[in-house]
Structure 1
Amino acid sequence: MTTKSTSVSWKLATAIGVTASLLLAGCSAGGAGGSTAAATANPADLDPAAAAALPAKFKDAGVIKVASDIPFPPMEMFDANQNLTGFDFDLAQVLGGKLGVRMELQTQAFDSIIPSLQSGKHDVIMSGMNDTPERQKTLDFVAYLHAGFSILVLAGNPDGITTVLDLCGKDVTVQKATVQADILHGYDAQCTAAGPGPIKTMELPIETDVQTAVRSGKAVADVVDSVVAAYASQTAGDGKLFDVVKDPENPAGYNPVYTGIGVLKKDNALAKALNLAMESAIADGSYARVLKKYDMVDYGIPQAGINLGS
């Protein structure tokens, strides 16, 4: 996934909108201090072991503040009534129910999302963030997805992109502060040897900006989490705006990684409680139901774990 992640969070009713009005509304709500949303925990959903493991300060507060880079469909987005929804939002509500607290998603730009935890503004990150060794120096990750990166192009694939090496020498756009740019630079030597030269990467603030650049011809492709790419190809312009490049040698996408809930190392007890909640959600089928709702069954994990990335 976006090693926002990608590796996630990255986020609106569609990846470049079911309609233009929803796109504009979603972007206007996406400022650093914007939307918040959470559901009230249902006592019937409580998992005793997970709730008992939750540190007292979160029990007492009754809420876990979740930093999320909204919009990033299908992970975080707005529905037709401008209510926050998406895979991360729905899973957060499941996990909050297990813990007996509200999981409240709050808008935070992805390039400042880790500092928002370090400053105490938020407690965890849930925004399609991928679990990488570099990030593990700062965060613990409670795994909840496993997927790779895909190449999103205009419908009909006018530039004939069939593999990542077809991007050599071309303008490609990615979301700022994700690892996609680093991954693409990893092909510099091969691209130079082949002749066209390195991939020309352009980083933009949010995924909707990235897709707009492809639509306007400023870039030939968007390299993004496979989940996000699939959603955009299925929904943007009623499924008529984008295609996902199918590389037979990488059917699950490039560089599959784990996506997880990011928690500061000092809050390891919180990470353990969230992991118990995730185990419970897998066991009782509530996790599977959220995966199915967003057509993400292929990216689900069979069992919970912390810091599964390597």
Structure 2
Amino acid sequence: MMAFSKKLAGALVIVLTVTCVSACGTAKVASSPQNTTAPLDKKISGSVPDRYRDQPLIIATDASLAPMELVAGKKKSIVGADIDIVNALASTMGLKVIIQNVDFNKIVSGVNSGAYDLGVSSITDTPARETKVDFVTYFQAGISYYVRKGAAKVAQPADLCGQRVAVQEGTILETLAVKQKPLCDKAEPLSIVRFPQQTQATQAVINKKADVTLSDTPIASWAVRNSKGKLVLSGDPFDVSPYGIAVAKGSGLTEPLQKAVNKIIANGVYDNILLKWGLQAGAVEKSQVNMAVS
């Protein structure tokens, strides 16, 4: 873990009780914001390595992935389901956190290098990523395509042929497009347009600079719902996989973090957070470690 003074630069301090602001759009809201606040668990807190007790955990997230993480409100705070979950886990473990907005493709490598303590940003647990960090699972999601209203339907990778495909760099969505590209006929080439953030990929489709984009289903659904009718989901969700919190191997945080996730599942805080953001379909029954789907 880097020295606190170095890691604080550019960070946004997030209080431990974050409520849904106007940018939450049409997401469902829990009956009481207090229901998303988790109590301290002394046993779990006692299992956290001493070196993490004197300063906040530095959490890397890409705040372009609403409703999981986004920048919202006059204060430009980072909010979202992932942020509420992080805060609940920190409360359970007796820790504080600092949330830092980072390009997605730098999160796993940053956790691996020690620049960040945890990476929490709709990160799909994959075999390749597991070679660099451990993953504590906490959610699951499929993948969905979305296009401009009235555009040709895209329902499978083969339908990307002949299309300009907007993708976020460093994601499994980029990998999917890269794998499909050589399978397309020369008469219908697949053109990949890469962006650092998914919001940029979405805007490229709206602005007709790309024909289709794809993202995890909660993120795709949010983008479509907030596009003022300009975008539609295309085809059915596919390839449901676990999300994981990225943890440096050998850090000593993996086990207490997994216990904390299972604690907030058991005490109902987890369900209330998902209800708040309309994400109940992605709930998991228990947290596990390194559950990548090959």
TM-score band, normalised by shorter chain: 0.7 to 0.9
Corresponding residue for residue 119 of structure 2: 125
Deviations 1:16-72 (A, max 9, x none): xxxxxxxxxxxxxxxx964513224899711123212211111232x2110111232
Corresponding residue for residue 235 of structure 2: 246
Asked if the contact 1:185–1:199 (Cα under 8 Å) also holds between the matched residues in 2, the reply is: no
Distance in 2 (alpha carbons) for counterparts of 1:103 and 1:127: 15
Deviations 1:93-152 (A, max 9, x none): 110110011122111122222332244321110111110000100110010111111101
Corresponding residue for residue 30 of structure 2: none
Larger deviation, residues 177-186 vs 258-267: 177-186
1:60 is paired with a residue whose SS is coil
The structure-2 alpha-carbon separation of the partners of 1:273 and 1:158, relative to structure 1 and needing over 3 Å to count, comes to same
1:203 is paired with a residue whose SS is strand
1:107 aligns with 2:101: yes
Distance in 2 (alpha carbons) for counterparts of 1:47 and 1:210: 41
2:218 is paired with a residue whose SS is helix
1:307 is paired with a residue whose SS is coil
The structure-2 alpha-carbon separation of the partners of 1:90 and 1:185, relative to structure 1 and needing over 3 Å to count, comes to same
1:274 aligns with 2:268: no
1:191 aligns with 2:215: no
Letter in 1 for 2:234: V
Q: Which runs of 4+ in 1 moved over 6 A?
A: 41-44
Letter in 2 for 1:207: Q
Asked if the contact 2:64–2:70 (Cα under 8 Å) also holds between the matched residues in 1, the reply is: yes
1:73 aligns with 2:49: no
In the alignment, which of 175, 178, 194 is matched to residue 182 of structure 1?
A: 175
Give the CA deviation at 1:170. 0.9
Larger deviation, residues 294-303 vs 163-172: 163-172
Deviations 1:254-307 (A, max 9, x none): 22211110011121x201111000000100110111111111111111111111
Asked if the contact 2:145–2:155 (Cα under 8 Å) also holds between the matched residues in 1, the reply is: no
Asked if the contact 2:109–2:132 (Cα under 8 Å) also holds between the matched residues in 1, the reply is: no
1:204 aligns with 2:198: no
Asked if the contact 1:64–1:101 (Cα under 8 Å) also holds between the matched residues in 2, the reply is: yes
Give the CA deviation at 1:80. 2.5
TM-score of the superposed pair, with normalisation by structure 1: 0.80
Point out where structure 2 has 5 or more consecutive residues left out of the alignment. Answer: 1-7, 18-33
Corresponding residue for residue 48 of structure 1: 42
Letter in 1 for 2:204: A
Corresponding residue for residue 133 of structure 2: 139
Letter in 2 for 1:217: K
Letter in 2 for 1:276: K
Distance in 2 (alpha carbons) for counterparts of 1:282 and 1:231: 24
Figure out how many residues of one structure are paired with residues of the other and give that number. Answer: 267
Alpha-carbon RMSD across the aligned residues, in angstroms, is: 2.2
Distance in 2 (alpha carbons) for counterparts of 1:179 and 1:161: 18
Distance in 2 (alpha carbons) for counterparts of 1:216 and 1:242: 11
In the alignment, which of 48, 51, 59 is matched to residue 53 of structure 2?
A: 59
Asked if the contact 1:37–1:84 (Cα under 8 Å) also holds between the matched residues in 2, the reply is: no
1:258 aligns with 2:249: no
The structure-2 alpha-carbon separation of the partners of 1:49 and 1:196, relative to structure 1 and needing over 3 Å to count, comes to farther
Asked if the contact 2:154–2:234 (Cα under 8 Å) also holds between the matched residues in 1, the reply is: yes
Asked if the contact 1:168–1:197 (Cα under 8 Å) also holds between the matched residues in 2, the reply is: yes
Question: Identity over the aligned pairs, expressed in percent?
Answer: 26
Corresponding residue for residue 223 of structure 2: 232
Letter in 2 for 1:85: V
In the alignment, which of 293, 301, 305 is matched to residue 276 of structure 2?
A: 293
In the alignment, which of 254, 271, 285 is matched to residue 302 of structure 1?
A: 285
The structure-2 alpha-carbon separation of the partners of 1:164 and 1:273, relative to structure 1 and needing over 3 Å to count, comes to same
Deviations 1:220-240 (A, max 9, x none): 111111110011111233xx2
Distance in 2 (alpha carbons) for counterparts of 1:198 and 1:51: 54
2:226 is paired with a residue whose SS is helix
1:38 aligns with 2:14: yes
Give the CA deviation at 1:197. 4.0
